[in-house]
Structure 1
Amino acid sequence: MSTAMNFGSKSFQPRPPDKGSFPLDHFGECKSFKEKFMKCLRDNNFENALCRNESKEYLECRMERQLMAQEPLEKLGFGDLIDGKSDKN
């Protein structure tokens, strides 16, 4: 009996995830927003609810620079933080 495994018998077709995969910020375009968010987390014992504004600003930066897909802020959980400006769909 052969101990060799036959990897060609089944064809696996990988596909990217629907969400959660986005380009890295290689040029540091949103670094200041990220640092502000991380500082807020450290200053607040990593209680992320206290840093929602910083998180929103960071995600807005990423969307504006096409480092992640455009999503309505309401869909990202920031609907209550929108201050009268139109949503970026």
Structure 2
Amino acid sequence: MSTAMNFSSKSFNPRPPDKGSFPLDHLGECKEFKDKFMNCLRESKFDNSLCRQQSKEYLECRMERQLMTKEPLEKLGFKDLIDSNASEKQRQMKT
């Protein structure tokens, strides 16, 4: 029994990228933020928990320049950094 497989009969249906996939930064718009994040990773022996602020700034840059879909930072795992930034700003405004 042999079955002939005709691969050319299947049609290709493009779909949007999975969450977490985003276009490359060909123009280097967020290169400064990426470099800060990568330097932090190297200095911390690739312990990304020590570089969360830099990671947040990099993702914010990408969202602002439409290199990735805008997402609430809480949904990306930065709720604690947002809360600490907000309380820091309130302290600065009081002085």
TM over 0.5: yes
Q: Whose helix fraction is larger, Structure 1's or Structure 2's?
A: 2
1:55 aligns with 2:55: yes
1:45 aligns with 2:45: yes
Q: Distance in 2 between matches of 1:31 and 1:19?
A: 22
1:34 aligns with 2:34: yes
- Hey, what does 2:65 align to over in structure 1? 65
Gaps of 5+ in 2: 90-95
TM-score, reference length from structure 1: 0.81
TM-score, reference length from structure 2: 0.76
Deviation, 1:3, is: 7.7
* Runs of 4+ deviating beyond 4 Å: 1-4
- Hey, what does 2:75 align to over in structure 1? 75
Indicate the percent of aligned positions where both proteins have the same amino acid.
79
Q: Bigger shift: 15-24 or 26-35?
A: 15-24
Deviation, 1:22, is: 1.4
Q: Distance in 2 between matches of 1:59 and 1:44?
A: 20
Deviation, 1:36, is: 0.3
Deviation, 1:5, is: 3.0
Q: Taking structure 1 as reference, are residues 35 and 77 closer, same or farther at Cα in structure 2, changes over 3 Å only? A: same
